Amino acid sequence: MATVLFVCRADAGRSQMSAALLRRAAAGRHHALAAGSKADPGGHVHPQVVRASSPSSIAPPP
């Protein structure tokens, strides 16, 4: 099992979506993590990412 770390600036969009896509595609064969280089520790996933992921049933972590 491989662990993949996706990093973007705020950890509120790109890295979250990438990790969610890998989790879905890997179906438990690999582990995906998301992080941000300047992330707000109390931050949340960007609302546009939540909306974009809803129709495809790809949910970023809470």
pLDDT exceeds 70 at position 62: no
- Predicted TM-score (pTM) above 0.75: no
Q: Is 42 helix (H, G, I), strand (E, B) or coil?
A: coil
Mean pLDDT, rounded, of the chain: 82
**pLDDT per residue over 18-30, tens digit each?**
998 899 899 999 9
| Domain residue ranges in the chain | 3-53
Q: How would residue 40 be classed by pLDDT, with cut points 50, 70 and 90?
A: confident
Work out the angle at residue 34's Cα, subtended by the Cα atoms of residues 29 and 26, and round it to the nearest 5 degrees.
Answer: 15
Q: Which CATH class is domain 3-53?
A: alpha beta
| φ and ψ of 8, to 5 deg | -135, -175
